[in-house]
Amino acid sequence: MKMTLTRALAELKMLDKRIEKTINESQYIAYEIGNKGIKGFQQKDEFITYAKGQYESVLKLIDNRKKIKAALVKANAVTVVEIAGESMTLAEAIERRNSINHEAVLLRVLSQQFSKVTNKVELENISVQERLDNLLESQFGKDGKTKNDDTKDLIDLYNTKHAAKIVDPIGLRNVIQKYQDKYDQFSTEVDFILSETNAKTEIEVHLD
């Protein structure tokens, strides 16, 4: 029989419930004392038929689940979708959706560190400039803060020794923007595209 991936997912959930219910609510072995029979059954043969039937029923449910799951896994591995401008299989899209929290955490840490360091550098350099202005005024008077040949070398030397500079080996500003754009676009599109694809992609399974 053919079914969409959407139906297959629903069938798996239903089978999981039926398997659990049948396993837990069935009796597969019993005992009898003398010729008094088995509690809950009129005849021993009735219990034997029941136990065998329930056991076979569970096995059939489990086998059907395996078949649907196998067909679903195969379809997920070969069906290609495009999400956020990137081609990927359904399996890859599902895995990325399930693990995207790692990307969110990375994005948050990168953004926090970038903001912290840039703010620290900005504040530090404001303080450096204030100290430099005081130094120039003390040595050259009020006009000393105006950059000229007399003060240029001192200013350059002072900034070289005291100014704060960002050390950014991976270019965080661009990395953060790139991650943010891709994260937002993927998060927006993934559920809709998966639902749409699942609804129109079919698998064929032979159930008992």
Give the SS3 label for residue 179: helix
Return the structure tokens found at 204: 């064929």
Instruction: Tell me what the mean pLDDT of segment 146-153 comes to.
Output: 68
Whether the full predicted model's pTM is greater than 0.85, yes or no, is no
Is the predicted pLDDT of residue 40 greater than 80, yes or no?
yes
What residue segments make up the domains of the chain, in order of their start?
Answer: 2-78, 98-189
- pLDDT range class, residue 169, cuts 50, 70, 90: very high
How far apart are alpha carbons 194 and 82 in whole angstroms?
10
Q: What are all long-range contacts of 98-107, with beta carbons under 8 Å and residues at least 24 apart?
A: 100/183, 100/186, 100/187, 103/179, 103/183, 104/183, 106/179, 107/176, 107/179, 107/180, 107/183
**What does the pLDDT look like over 98-144, one tens digit per residue?**
999 999 999 999 999 999 999 999 999 999 999 988 888 887 776 65
Give, in order, the Cα–Cα distances in Å from 89 to each of 5, 81, 86, 99, 196.
14, 6, 10, 15, 14
